Copies of this chain bind each other. A is one copy, B any other.
Amino acid sequence: MKKHNFSAGPCILPQQVFKEASSSLLNFNNLDLSLIEISHRSADFVAVMDEAISLVKETLNVPSEYSVLFLQGGASMEFLMVAYNLMKTNGKAAYLDTGAWSSKAIKEAKLFGDTQVVGSSKIKNYSYIPKGYSIPTDANYFHCTSNNTIFGTQMKSFPSTEVNVVCDMSSDIFSRKINVSDFDLIYAGAQKNLGPAGTTLVIVKDEILGHTGREIPTMLDYRTHISKESMFNTPPVFPIYVSMLTLRWLKENGGIEWIEKRNNQKADLLYNFIDSSSIFEGSAAFEDRSTMNATFLLTDNSLESEFNKMCLEGGINGLKGHRSVGGYRASMYNAMPLESVQVLVDIMKELERKG
């Protein structure tokens, strides 16, 4: 049965990536060896790492003064590494609180210095992105989360500031055009638009590192990984390989320009229907709606079991909303085809017609 995978992450990746990865597990590069049994220092794997890094640089047009790293530990480890590497001794950092992930980042930063929340939408259950906040000019950095999977909100612009800007782009990197030079450090867990769970992408402007006056454990120091080109220790071979394949797929199809257009089409299709519907309503503020994760509710809860049944029969997977918002969440990451969103919208229309 054809499945339409709306999972929030780990999530859908291109079918051709699954096929190639599956094949490489049996015989990689015609070596008569599996991808996962070769040395990470072998020429064949070093080429994978090099290509993955090059494709990130090319796809996002990363300026030369930035390093691209593939690490481990997910965004959760970055919450801590960012503060460890950027918060000065007796320093200060400014955080924008837009949801569960921001809150976790703020918690870790507090271990390292004065952590100021310059804006928060917590009192309205994070249903919008705060605006009009100001960033102290003496902050060591400003931290924000570009897309909030749970609440379905997305930053449409980023503050212009002299302060270093750090952004957690876990759930929308590679989905739209960004100017890397507007940021000083970008990080992203791979398991949305980049690859499977198990690796973390970091893009960091080298010159912002090494100014904290703090001793940093080797593995937590970005400079360790920069100097060893993400090979200080054994990297997560398979997640990096699949990320490389996914970046190849993106490039072959037209890169960011192509995918941004496609993502907007998918989001428009779903949001336009929601806005015209009498039985569904969006749960995020109109202007802050995410193109990646559309959160919505049934206005009449009695239709819930019928809708769930229709989704199941239609092969719709992973549509249940996060418990802190309720309702539904359609995650429409890069690899999701427009057709899958159409299948969902057709089911929603059919429910409205019947209801």
Given A13-B37, A22-B26, A37-B10, also A198-B76 (CB < 8 A): no
Q: Are B80 and A218 in contact (CB under 8 A)?
A: yes
Given the complex, which residues of B lie within 8 Å of A37, measured CB to CB?
5, 7, 10-13, 18
Q: Is A197 part of the contact surface with B, judged by Cβ < 8 Å?
A: yes
Assembled-state Cα–Cα distance A40/B198 (Å):
12
**Minimum Cβ distance to chain B for residue A335 (Å):** 8
Assembled-state Cα–Cα distance A79/B224 (Å):
15
Task: Count the copies.
Answer: 2
Residue in contact with A232 in the complex, picked from B23, B76, B189, B196, CB distance below 8 Å: B76
**Minimum Cβ distance to chain B for residue A327 (Å):** 17
Assembled-state Cα–Cα distance A12/B79 (Å):
35
Q: Are B10 and A197 in contact (CB under 8 A)?
A: no
Given the complex, which residues of B lie within 8 Å of A235, measured CB to CB?
197
Given A10-B237, A218-B80, also A36-B74 (CB < 8 A): no
Interface of A: prevailing SS: loop
Q: Is A191 part of the contact surface with B, judged by Cβ < 8 Å?
A: yes
Q: Are A40 and B10 in contact (CB under 8 A)?
A: yes
Q: Is A233 part of the contact surface with B, judged by Cβ < 8 Å?
A: yes
**Minimum Cβ distance to chain B for residue A78 (Å):** 9
The 5 closest A-B pairs by CB, nearest first: A198-B236, A36-B196, A76-B233, A22-B25, A72-B72
A and B contact pairs by CB, cutoff 8 A, 20 listed: A3-B32, A5-B33, A7-B39, A8-B39, A10-B36, A18-B37, A19-B26, A21-B25, A25-B25, A32-B315, A36-B196, A76-B219, A104-B218, A108-B219, A111-B215, A189-B234, A197-B236, A197-B237, A198-B199, A238-B238
